[in-house]
Amino acid sequence: MKRLVLVALPADEGERLDRFIAARGGISRGAARRSIDEGGVFLDGRRCKVAGKPIRAGYTVHVNIEEGGRTPDDVEPLGRERLLYADEHLVAIDKPTGVPAQATLTSDRGTLPALAADLLGGPVTLVHRLDRETSGVTVLARTPAATYALAEAFRAGLPEKTYLALCLRPPSPPEGRLEVAIGRDPRRKGLRMVSPGGDLAATRYRTLRIGHAALVEARPETGRTHQIRVHLAHLGAPLLGDPKYGGARMVGSIPVLRVMLHAARLELPHPVTGAPLSFEAPVPADFSELAASLECPLPG
């Protein structure tokens, strides 16, 4: 991955972001727009996906550019077994833990769209995302029309999402529906918190197993950042491996190496035909083995 750091001068004032990156970075405007669309552009440390945003003098612009045919050495390519579904309009991928959905300011590891494009031999576009440590079903679009239709479906809350979470303890109450707003945490950059002034968020949940931890099924009705992590922590059940929201990295003598959240199933209408689609991703070994060791075996 190629990385650029560009500082806007007074002469750049008012220029469109994509034009500024192309001119100052020595790349094509198309490449600049792709970097913006893929979430690889940051203005003063904050991601920006608006190609027409006007530049202001003094801005520092970081740009991550995926170079064709190249993948960082420490990123494994996606195996064919990760491909859950593909047609000419969309693809469903079983995202491995540790793979970012988008480029970040501090990481140039391969993103899911880049790895999926390598697997499929053609470009794909992200329409929703899982956190880096979360595994499971992710859908990507293969055409502009599908991108628009899928983005609108997610915006309207049409997809039915089912997650499995390993929690420090069961939520209280053990089953129900939580509807509380989530906003930015002003004290911790990049994190969220329950906030009356935030965005409406609702999650249905139920406890499936209780042992030395709790296995919880979560079905978010909205798609707020870190929603399941914040909501379950609010219910007294922080996710294992999630110290940012009160979860433990050790349970007794057992280490927890990541946030224990898996996107197990996704149901949504096809972006072109409207036919119902359902995708399931198998629970990864690290999740199932930890669940078994904590006496919270997976159902079935």
Distances (CA, A) of 262 to 29, 86, 109, 164, 248: 37, 21, 21, 5, 17
Burial environment of residue 177 by CB neighbours within 10 A (0 to 12, 13 to 18, 19 or more): exposed
Cβ contact 222:192 at 8 Å = no
As assigned by CATH, the class of the 80-155 domain is alpha beta
Mean pLDDT of 106-113: 68
Q: How far apart are CA 139 and CA 124, in angstroms?
A: 10
Cβ contact 172:235 at 8 Å = yes
Owner of token pair 């990507």: 140
Sign of CA dihedral 107, 108, 114, 116: negative
Q: What one-letter code names the amino acid at 45?
A: G
CATH code for residues 2-65 = 3.10.290.10
Catalytic residue (choose from 94, 131, 185, 242): 131
Cβ contact 241:177 at 8 Å = no
Active-site residue 185, yes or no?
Answer: no
Which pLDDT does position 104 carry in this prediction? 60
**Encoded tokens for 264:** 């197990």
pTM exceeds 0.85: no
Q: How far apart are CA 232 and CA 245, in angstroms?
A: 9
Q: How far apart are CA 292 and CA 101, in angstroms?
A: 29
Interval 259-285: pLDDT, tens:
999 999 999 999 999 999 999 999 999
Give yes or no for residue 31 having a pLDDT over 90. no
Nearest Cα to Cα of residue 216 among 280, 256, 264, 279: 264
Interval 285-297: pLDDT, tens:
999 999 999 999 9
Domain ranges of the chain: 2-65, 80-155, 160-293
Q: How far apart are CA 48 and CA 128, in angstroms?
A: 16
Residue by residue, DSSP assigns 29-61 as HHHHHHHHHTT-EEETTEE---TTPBP-TT-EE
pLDDT classification of 109: cutoffs 50, 70, 90 = low
- Answer yes or no: same fold for 2-65 and 160-293: no
- Per the model's pLDDT, the better-predicted residue between 39 and 213 turns out to be 213
Query: In CATH, which of 3.40.1480.10, 3.30.2350.10, 1.50.10.20, 3.90.650.10 is domain 160-293?
Result: 3.30.2350.10
